[in-house]
Amino acid sequence: MRDDPFAALPLNAPPLSLPPEGSAMRASFAGRARDSLQIFQAGIVAVQADALLDQTDWQAELPRPLAEYDKIVAAGMGKASMAMLAALRRRLGRRMHAGRAVVPYGYKHRAGAIASDALSGPCRVIEAGHPLPDKRSEQAARALLDVVSGLGPNDLAIVPASGGGSSLCALFPRGISMEDAREAFRRLLVAGADIHAINKVRRRISQTGGGGLARAAAPADVLTLCLSDVPGDDAEHMYVIGGGPTLSDPYTAQDALDVLKRYGDQVPASVWRYVEGLAGRPEQPAGAPGRVRAVLLGNVRTALEAAAKKARTLGYRARIVTDALSGEAREVGAAMARRLLNEEPGSCLLWGGETSVTVRGDGLGGRNQELALAAALRMAGAAQDISLMSAGTDGRDGPVDAAGAIATPDTAVEARRQGLDPSAFLARNDAYEFWKRTPGLLQTGPTHTNVMDMQIALS
């Protein structure tokens, strides 16, 4: 499992749905699908925990060698945290006094060596709610706070942080219930607040976010190992990963209050009262002064470079177009298809980033599946032997059991032969139902990493 994130899939359930044996679509699709999957897989392997720790001199960030610490604990959160805990456990052995990792439900299942290492000795893995926090999220946050509390100045807390942590670890101050917090985030979203604005409020009412975990670990040294699922990746952005459990929030309580004043008419009163009470107070530092450090282990660029290298070994001329992709998924997918139709044969174009979906219908899907569906419509019937795969590096795309999908010029044509209308599926944001009935749905299961999305176009 640690060398091949797809190896735990049973042999009779390949990660990519194929056309039926003997169909006219089978031969051309299978070759492109195989190459796309190998290229995607190379990117995923490059951002696995073992690879990241081996290629980064993360210990150089510590003020003293690991051997000089009296006690070392690990407290991780996010989709990659179980793999990170397992990798640290293998490296530290008995030096690790205690370890905890919080991951989404289902991550322990079929995790192979990752789970056995992360669950051995003093280590425990907790599953909790994502993308919405639940009661287990509160228990998980308490477990992380407990494992770092009581440390002394000669101790070290290592915090593996990756995407999803702010939902998985969600403990709110007295007076703010889980229901009120969830309603606050929902109301802000409905009112038009973007994720950056919502996070300004989220970190202010989180006991672990906004540096809360580092404050609990003081006076120990704290080292955060960040795997980025956000654009930017410099010091200004790393506080966002996992809700910023160890880094001081660059925004103030007044900034959070300004968000409520603009978008929060329907936000529960308990959240208003708490944020208003914080506004104007001195900001709390994250942990003991000078003893909190963070290192960026990897991001989508890391995955893209490995994917490009693999594509070249397969004979393609590979180019990374961007590692900061954004925009409306269906528009981006159509634009990628237009570009692909004009590419010379033998090309591999790679994108990384995260698009968005404006929900217009009542269907089921995710941004990668919608992007691929829009691309399928744009390239429908083209004579070129081309394909476009779009997938989440965490193995999850929206609220469904898929990572994404791969589109070819035959996709929409074959769907129409079956009596399906691809345009209608796209109009009602029902990409998952479309891909369930059409070859090309990618189902990898959890990859135990998370660096946004990747798109792989082959000609």
pLDDT digits (tens, 9 = 90+) for 82-115: 999 999 999 999 999 999 999 999 888 766 667 6
> Is 113 within the bounds of a domain?
yes
Contacts of residue 42, Cβ cutoff 8 Å, sequence gap at least 6: 306, 307, 309, 310
Please tell me whether residues 138 and 227 are part of one structural domain: yes
pLDDT digits (tens, 9 = 90+) for 386-398: 999 999 999 999 8
The CATH number for 359's domain is 3.40.1480.10
Please tell me whether residues 67 and 152 are part of one structural domain: yes
For range 151-170, the mean pLDDT: 94
- Is the separation of the CB atoms in 435 and 374 below 8 Å? no
Q: How many folded domains does the chain comprise? A: 2
> Is 342 within the bounds of a domain?
yes
Q: Are strands 71-77 and 96-104 parallel, antiparallel or unpaired?
A: parallel
d(CA 313, CA 19): 26
d(CA 67, CA 281): 40
- Is the separation of the CB atoms in 311 and 38 below 8 Å? no
> Is 65 within the bounds of a domain?
yes
Please tell me whether residues 112 and 38 are part of one structural domain: no
Q: In the chain, what percentage of residues exceed pLDDT 90?
A: 74
Please tell me whether residues 65 and 151 are part of one structural domain: yes
Can you give the residue range of the structural domain that contains 327? 26-47+300-458
* Single-letter residue type at 309: K
> Is 4 within the bounds of a domain?
no
Please tell me whether residues 42 and 116 are part of one structural domain: no
- What is the spatial order of strands in the sheet that 292-298 belongs to? 123-128, 96-104, 71-77, 155-161, 221-227, 292-298
Question: Mean pLDDT for the chain?
Answer: 90
> Is 266 within the bounds of a domain?
no
> Is 219 within the bounds of a domain?
yes
- Is the separation of the CB atoms in 193 and 255 below 8 Å? no
> Is 144 within the bounds of a domain?
yes
pLDDT digits (tens, 9 = 90+) for 42-52: 999 999 999 99
The CATH number for 78's domain is 3.40.50.10180
Please tell me whether residues 30 and 102 are part of one structural domain: no
- Is the separation of the CB atoms in 215 and 283 below 8 Å? no
Identify the pLDDT of residue 2: 42
Please tell me whether residues 291 and 373 are part of one structural domain: no
> Is 5 within the bounds of a domain?
no
Pick the residue with more confidence: 313 or 234? 313
**Residue 236 in this model has a pLDDT that exceeds 70:** no
CA distances from 220 to 1, 71, 81, 148, 233 (A): 33, 10, 21, 9, 25
Please tell me whether residues 292 and 322 are part of one structural domain: no
Decide: pTM greater than 0.85. yes
Please tell me whether residues 228 and 346 are part of one structural domain: no
